[in-house]
Structure 1
Amino acid sequence: MTGRVRSLAERLLESATQTLTEAGVASPRVDAELLLSHVTGVPRALLVQRARPTEEHRTAYLELVDARARRFPLQHLTGQAAFRYVDLEVGTGVFVPRPETELLAGWAIDAARESGRGAVVLDLCTGSGAIALSVVDEVPHASVHAVELDEVAHGWAERNLLGTGVDLRLGDAFEAFADLDGTVDVVVCNPPYIPLDAWESVAVEARDHDPALALWSGDDGLDAMRALERAAWRLLKPGGVVGAEHADAQGESAPAVFAGRWLDVRDHRDLADRPRFVTARRP
């Protein structure tokens, strides 16, 4: 008795999974499925049952798998990144938002709600606009502002924030919004935080394809955090709060930046129980 004949979709997925596994991709089967779903338009969960790839699909798929094997970010190949309840356009020149940053965004959303109607929220180092878009999506009564220094990344944020009412600016995150000094309820930031000597430890996708401005931050990775501490002190009203992501090795050093003049300095862990972001309150 012969076994069931595998469909073209199954054969493509198996071959792609092997290729991506050999290339060192962290989630080879998932990425293979997401790429085939992107090419065929069939939901990932239904690929084996419903996908009927054409020759054009097959050619496009193999090209994408080859690019992914060369460690191009998956989101750059599909052009989209999911973040909380929103979808973002992403591509070359912008930092791809990570799932762990959704926790920081959730903290900012809760803080904005607690601040009441018309809460003023600043997203510094906005990149693709992920946090700002999530805040305005989930707290529509908030007054949301965002800033990005890199011109290419700023262009991506413009696309993602178009029509949302977010005040998006181009400039240095830690010098921007002088017009809002002392009036802000929530400052949130996913700053660069990788030490300059940590090159080898960074995933190829980030090291080779995310903008350098979004990654590196001095010898200890905390140069941007120190600049953020000074900027947040200037921007926040009394009782306002700041939250910032950091590397999992900075669970003590990042909160230490806010020690002294800040209240309620606290570090928060991610879903993998790793130190992930610090929050503090202005007296």
Structure 2
Amino acid sequence: MSRALRRAAADRLREAGVASPERDADELLAHVLGVTLGRLPLVDEVAPADAATYDVLVGRRAAREPLQHLLGTAAFRHVELQVGPGVFVPRPETELLAGWAIEQAAPLATPVVVDLCTGSGAIARAVADEVPRARVHAVELDERAHAWAARNLAGTGVELRQGDMADAFEDLAGTVDVVVCNPPYIPLEAWESVAPEARDHDPHLALFSGDDGLVAMRVLEARAARLLRPGGVVGAEHADVQGTSAPAVFSGTGRWSEVRDHPDLAGRPRYLTARLAR
């Protein structure tokens, strides 16, 4: 019965255009049954009440509600985050940017790291987890997203503030070692091309950034220049079509050296890094 349920659910999700129907079907059933994915093949029978709950969740996923909203959690590097309506669901590709920030902070005695546009708190939480001696600060403008970040960062030592990255952490100006940010970067004209899971469920404040998608990137460039110590570094995610235009925001000011772009695991341009000139 378990196998038939999963197969039927996967078919339903595939017809709805879900990108990973088999995996999502398995994740949802494991969630309902309270078992790991590894133990799911060992389950033969599913109680009628569990099957009914599963059917409802599969229906919501077929309507393109994010899988992570249905599960209530999202994995990010070595931590698990609480997510739901009102907060941007962290993507696997952002783990690369977080890994870069961790690599930059790790060799320093007491690194100061600032995560702008923290959303769920994913990057800040990962840095605090993997570089325990780091002093990590995070800011989020959206009230609902800030509430999710507060849950995820509670007890981690991360200082979380609510506010605009454009003027955040003025008290840290000139002292920060690493600034990291996953800003909104989708052009407004690209509305129709955005996956329903993001377009209909992620906060628009976390997605769209003006006609060219680089409005927030320009704000970030100016703020990072203000916050970093000379020789400090900044890293920022961008859309795969912005592999030239996003780094140009930094290289065009004359304030930065070592402006570089980096690919994701699929080889697509994904994030830029730069060092504040000494």
How does the TM-score come out when normalised to structure 1? 0.96
User: Which deviates more from structure 2 when the two are superposed, residues 103-112 or residues 46-55?
Assistant: 46-55
Which letter maps to 1:132?
Answer: A
Structure 2: distance between partners of 1:139 and 1:231: 24
Match of 1:137 in 2: 129
Distance 1:175 1:144 in 2: 17
1:81 corresponds to 2:110: no
Contact preservation (8 Å) 1:148, 1:170 = yes
Contact 2:225–2:255 (Cα < 8 Å) also in 1: no
Which residues of 2 match residues 208-219 of structure 1 at below 5 A? Answer: 208-219=200-211
Aligned-residue Cα RMSD (Å) equals 0.7
* Rounded Cα–Cα distance in structure 1 between residues aligned with 2:190 and 2:59: 27
Once the two structures are superposed, the pairs formed by residues 5-44 of structure 1 within 5 Å of their partners are 8-44=1-37
Aligned pairs (5 A) from 1:12-161: 12-50=5-43, 52-114=45-107, 116-161=108-153
Shift, 1:151, TM fit? 0.4
2-side partners of 1:25 and 1:104: how far apart? 26
- In 2, Cα distance between equivalents of 1:200 and 1:263: 36
* Aligned mates of 1:253, 1:51 — CA distance in 2: 53
* Structure 2 counterpart of 1:184: 176
Q: 2:165 aligns with which of 150, 170, 173?
A: 173
What corresponds to 1:5 in structure 2?
none
Given residue 266 of structure 1, which amino acid in structure 2 is its aligned partner? Answer: R
Instruction: Please tell me whether residue 270 in structure 1 is matched to residue 270 in structure 2.
Output: no
**227-236 or 39-48, which moves further after superposition?**
39-48
Aligned residue type for 1:124: L
Q: How many residues align?
A: 275
Structure 2 gap segments, 5+ residues each: none
Deviation digits for residues 36-95 of structure 1, max 9, x if unmatched?
000001211221213532112111100000000000000000000000000000000000
Structure 1 outlier segments of 4+, above 2 Å: none
User: What is residue 218 of structure 2 aligned with on the other side?
Assistant: 226
Partner SS, residue 140 of structure 1: coil
Indicate if the aligned counterparts of 1:42 and 1:50 stay in contact, CA closer than 8 A. Answer: no
The alignment status of 1:195 with 2:187, answered yes or no, reads: yes
